[in-house]
Amino acid sequence: MLNIVIFGAPGSGKGTQSQKLVDKYHLTHISTGDILRTEIENQTKLGEHAAKFMNKGELVPDEVVIDILHELFVHEPDKVGYIFDGFPRTLEQGKALDNMLHGENEKINVVLSLEVDESELTERLIMRGQISGRNDDTEDTIKSRLQVYNRQTAPLKEYYAKQNKLANINGMGTIGEIFTRIEKVVDRLDY
């Protein structure tokens, strides 16, 4: 299996590049953000609980997202692999993912970390907020999401660097240019 974590700050292009990876490598996409937004839309109990955190730009508690992941990950021989988008976001989640994969004799092959300047991140998210009206794409919430990323999520890079799995990708430029950088890394992997 080819298992990829796509990593980066809010607005760094994780969702956009995931779609291109799915198209080219036929991976199964797991986006915890998309799943949580669907729960909110469907007005489920889980969605109601998650919205309290998401609307403030805070992380949904680890046990909630780890449970979601356990439900979604299915180890089937015909699956090419997975792309984990927006998960893990804490060290606890990173360890849970490693344990889950280890239990299936699988592993993360690479962590693609999209590196984008903070001013560009803010600009992209404000622009999206004006068009799509995502609840958390407001100036105050964007600020708090970026702080949460720097404080709680960015330290995971060290965790993956120690495992020699971290690939820093320049996430500035056009979507196509960034994908070309990603392809170079993925095509070199032995899986």
The residues that are catalytic are 14, 89, 128, 134, 145
Is 108 within 8 Å of 101 (Cβ atoms)?
A: yes
**Ramachandran sector of residue 173 (left: φ over 0; alpha: ψ -120 to 50; beta: rest):** left
Q: Which of 10, 21, 8 is nearest to 139 (CA)?
A: 10
- Taking the complex as a whole, the smallest distance from the CB of residue 119 to ligand AP5 amounts, in Å, to 13
- Taking the complex as a whole, the smallest distance from the CB of residue 9 to ligand AP5 amounts, in Å, to 7
Stretch that binds ligand AP5, among 21-29, 75-83, 84-92, 160-168 (CB under 6 A): 84-92
Annotate each residue in 41-60 with x if it binds ligand AP5 (CB under 6 A) or - if it does not, as one string. ------------xx--xxxx
Does residue 16 bind ligand AP5 (CB under 6 A)?
A: yes
| Beta strands 110-115 and 166-170, pairing class | parallel
The torsion angles phi and psi of 158, rounded to 5 degrees, stand at -60, -40
104-133: contacts with ligand AP5 (CB under 6 A): 124-125, 128
- Taking the complex as a whole, the smallest distance from the CB of residue 53 to ligand AP5 amounts, in Å, to 5
